[in-house]
Amino acid sequence: MSSVWAVLVAAGRGERLGSKRPKAFAVLGGRPLLAESLERLDGIPRIERVVAVVPPKWEEPSILCAEEVGASKLTACIVGGETRTDSVRIGIGEVPQHADVILIHDAARPLLRRQIVDRLLGGLGEGYDGAVPGLPVADTIKRAPGGTVVETLDRSELVAAQTPQVFAAGALRRAFADADSCGTDCAALVERAGGRIRVVPGDPDLLKVTTPEDLAAIEQRLAREAR
């Protein structure tokens, strides 16, 4: 059985949420957004340990939050960087060399279910360096730099990638070794480094919090889950 460590990135400012607090501390169902992912990651048996990457000055509240939800797998809580890629790089640095697989998750996607982690871990191996959840795309996607369409993409080939994403630890470390590399998800860096990424079915409920409306939609789903 391979050793799976999780890195939970929660160091974003979340400016589009319009709150003074960082996004991971926006209130969802009466508690910080961060609590949801910490508790859920803790409850997934295949995950051995968790590293949380948080905004400057929010280490202590994060540790308290983990204690409150009984997230005993939290091993390190460290300050993130300027970009998501920087924060992931810092988080990976806290994962010990003996870990075989690293899972990266965004605190901004609180409704994490065990099934998706099982699907992702099942998708690794067989020559794959990583696995990501993908959802079909409903809209027609066009490339339009500067507002002029230069290409319309074939929708049947497109997926919208979510987190969590899982990677063979060595492949992820190599992809993040270049301090200048960046991307909007981790898989992009692994792809660029020559890695093969598998897509497994995503979870439509694993919504990402960007605006206050997203928080309201997720609260509704949480309430449905609790029923």
Stretch that binds ligand C5P, among 77-85, 114-122, 134-142, 147-155 (CB under 6 A): 77-85
Q: In this chain, which of 50, 95, 102, 107 binds ligand C5P, going by CB under 6 A?
A: 107
Q: How far is the CB of 23 from ligand C5P (least distance, A)?
A: 6
Stretch that binds ligand C5P, among 74-82, 112-120, 121-129, 173-181 (CB under 6 A): 74-82
Token pair listed for 43: 């409850």
Using the minimum distance from each CB to ligand C5P, give the nearer residue, 24 or 121. 24
For the residues of 164-212, what is the DSSP string, one character each? -EEEEHHHHHHHT-STT---SSHHHHHHHTT--EEEEE--TT-PPP-SH
| Residue 183 binds ligand C5P (CB under 6 A) | no
Token pair listed for 26: 């926006």
Using the minimum distance from each CB to ligand C5P, give the nearer residue, 2 or 184. 184
Exposure string for 132-147, b = 16+ CB within 10 A, e = fewer: bbbbeeeeeeeeeeee
Comparing CA positions, the residue from 17, 26, 89, 91 lying closest to residue 52 is 91
Q: How far is the CB of 54 from ligand C5P (least distance, A)?
A: 8
- Provide the 3-class DSSP secondary structure of residue 224: helix
Using the minimum distance from each CB to ligand C5P, give the nearer residue, 14 or 123. 14
| Residue 62 binds ligand C5P (CB under 6 A) | no
Q: Which residues bind ligand C5P (CB under 6 A)?
A: 9-12, 23-24, 53, 80-84, 87, 106-108, 210
